[in-house]
A and B are shown apart, each in its own frame.
Chain A
């Protein structure tokens, strides 16, 4: 049972009623340490991924699917939506936590555009590392390193979580 669950008034997995005093004799110890890599994943993006995200999000800015318009406004190519990169980069963290309700805050800076080649696409890698721990509160700050071909594309990508 975590504070986040109580605030929600929801009962996600693992929060079954254990009786009148669920914490009696129970000492919660997290096995995490600062510097631990808690999740990693790689996402191959294609032009289809961009069209799919455009439809799902309603962001139909043409720089995300038309080479001629991207070139016209001086871009190096068709770009992935920043919000697509932000949206997928937290998925390994959600999978690690097991419950999206444990995500308290998520922020990123868009520092480098992700060019998606019409044939080769682009590959985004995500590494999630514990940057700060508050054992007493059972919370952590998880920093994401999100990169394409070794160059980071998001800055200050931080997730504040309640530890699972």
Chain B
């Protein structure tokens, strides 16, 4: 595990357009039953411009930045050795179909525990107006070679 990752500057991802059917598909996959996730009419009646994505949909956008992390040369992260330790989302507002979202990653902490490393990856997600939507933080445990 390369400790220099903490200083690595990751580029903003290119805009991710949140599709209405993607929101429906994700909603069904996480057993979301609130009608604002499935019915455009219900979402609009509740004051939203379109379908509302479930709270953990932000992981789809965060994943694009984690892929950047895994792709860093000399990162020392073997994907098959990565375990998801914890996850957090801090919301300014829900993600809505039609949003164009960009995400930027920061590695905020790297700790070594025995042969394992614990990486905290914080991804800030903004909309096309530059307004904050959600910050997604993952702690990944990278198992050392046994």
Residues on A facing B (Cβ under 8 Å): 7-8, 10-13, 15, 43, 49, 52-53, 55-59, 73, 82-84, 86-88, 90-91, 94-95, 98-101, 103-110, 156
Decide: B94 and A101 in contact? CB cutoff 8 A: yes
Stretch at the interface among B4-12, B27-35, B102-110: B27-35
Decide: B93 and A83 in contact? CB cutoff 8 A: no
Given the complex of chains A and B, what is the CA–CA distance between A134 and B93 in angstroms? 21
Decide: A7 and B92 in contact? CB cutoff 8 A: yes
B111 close to A (CB within 8 Å): no
Shortest CB–CB separation between residue A103 and chain B, in angstroms? 5
Q: List 18 A-B pairs, Cβ < 8 Å.
A: A12-B46, A12-B48, A56-B22, A56-B25, A56-B29, A82-B84, A83-B87, A87-B29, A87-B56, A94-B55, A100-B54, A101-B93, A103-B91, A104-B90, A107-B89, A110-B83, A110-B85, A156-B86
Q: In the complex, what residue of chain A is closest to B139 when comparing beta carbons? A: A109
Residues of B contacting A91 in the complex (Cβ-Cβ under 8 angstroms): 30-34, 54
Given contacts A87-B54, A91-B32, A98-B34, contact A10 B93 (CB under 8 A): yes
Interface size on B, as a range, is 35 or more
B59 close to A (CB within 8 Å): yes
Shortest CB–CB separation between residue A10 and chain B, in angstroms? 5
Given the complex of chains A and B, what is the CA–CA distance between A101 and B93 in angstroms? 6
Given the complex of chains A and B, what is the CA–CA distance between A12 and B83 in angstroms? 37
Decide: A110 and B47 in contact? CB cutoff 8 A: no
Decide: B90 and A105 in contact? CB cutoff 8 A: yes
B63 close to A (CB within 8 Å): yes
Decide: B88 and A105 in contact? CB cutoff 8 A: yes
Decide: A106 and B29 in contact? CB cutoff 8 A: no
Given contacts A11-B47, A87-B31, could you give 5 more A-B pairs where the C-beta distance is less than 8 Å? Answer: A8-B92, A90-B55, A90-B56, A91-B34, A100-B55
Decide: A83 and B59 in contact? CB cutoff 8 A: yes
Given the complex of chains A and B, what is the CA–CA distance between A31 and B56 in angstroms? 28
Which 9 pairs between the two chains have the least Cβ-Cβ distance?
Answer: A87-B30, A11-B47, A56-B29, A107-B88, A87-B56, A109-B86, A53-B29, A56-B26, A12-B47
Q: In the complex, what residue of chain B is closest to A57 when comparing beta carbons? A: B60
Decide: A88 and B31 in contact? CB cutoff 8 A: yes
Query: Which one of A8, A15, A83 contacts B56 once the chains associate, using CB atoms below 8 Å?
Result: A83
Given contacts A56-B29, A83-B84, contact A106 B93 (CB under 8 A): no
Shortest CB–CB separation between residue A140 and chain B, in angstroms? 15
Decide: B63 and A106 in contact? CB cutoff 8 A: no
Given contacts A8-B93, A57-B59, contact A100 B52 (CB under 8 A): yes
Shortest CB–CB separation between residue A127 and chain B, in angstroms? 16
Given the complex of chains A and B, what is the CA–CA distance between A70 and B25 in angstroms? 26
Given the complex of chains A and B, what is the CA–CA distance between A108 and B136 in angstroms? 12
Decide: A100 and B31 in contact? CB cutoff 8 A: no
